[in-house]
Structure 1
Amino acid sequence: MSQTVRLVCPSGRKHAELWSGYLLAALGAVAIVMDPAHWANITLGLLLVLLGVGLAVHGHLIKAPVLEISDGEFHYRRGAYEVSVPFGDIGSYYLLPGGVRSLGLCDTAGRPKRFPSLRSRRTSRTYLPLTGMTSPAKVESFMAMAGIPPRKRSLAS
């Protein structure tokens, strides 16, 4: 695979914090402008602006998961956590449904691949967490563009 295929998972919490922060900062500015001579409006306005700026900064710090295939490797990044798997070692994939969707990769023999834990725990996991807003159709099209087939869910076959 010579070209890069990339999917950034949308994060609802990030969008909510950003828009809430911007809205609170704007409300604080409006409170100050409405009556700048009264100390209560200035205090309320400054508190709203500070709270809004804090929320917006925290929203910008949230890192969404990124799936990428380039240079013959599959990369998964979420903040400081990064997993790289050679493209030839991936046989298929599967999606785990739920509130927070997850992506599982299988080796060429069909066994789930194991990844180290995200939070430096001693356990390992067989899936990579995505976000709840990630559409299964987008993940399926990403994997199809990368050339990785889905694993059949039937245990009988």
Structure 2
Amino acid sequence: MPDALPLRAELLLDQEAPEALGQDLVAALEGLGVRTARVRRAVDHRGAGDLPWLVLASLPLQAFLSGLGAEAVRDAYVSFKGVVRRGAGRTAAGDGAPRPLVLQDARSGLSIVLEPDLPAEAYEQLLGIDLAEFHVGPLHYDRQLGRWRSELDEAAG
């Protein structure tokens, strides 16, 4: 990560997210040079179209992803992926569906959905992704096409 200005993140935990998950994610992000400014709990009322996330992390995404490519942070990145897998694998009460961790750009609002069982190539592609190519999110990893994409961007042309 750049030494000049530390990246800052805000975490919003769903009511069902265990406290330990928030603590693990804060530690994993700190290992990657990201300071967590605030950790809060979400209010329980969401609209029908809202993404059912377990943790929402808001931070300067392009700087975060660019910094992950450095060899010095590879071990910390492995730790971060482990937290994503453990946390996102948890299910909402009663519905059985995995709930993702979502990274959201603090400036543009563009979001990236990190599902619990993403293949290694998804994470590798994420390191080199240029967020300026996308205008509307969320970005999901398309396993069939083997790439990150925004269906809303594609629909808009």
Q: Same fold (TM over 0.5)?
A: no
- TM interval, shorter chain, is under 0.3
Higher gyration radius (CA): 1
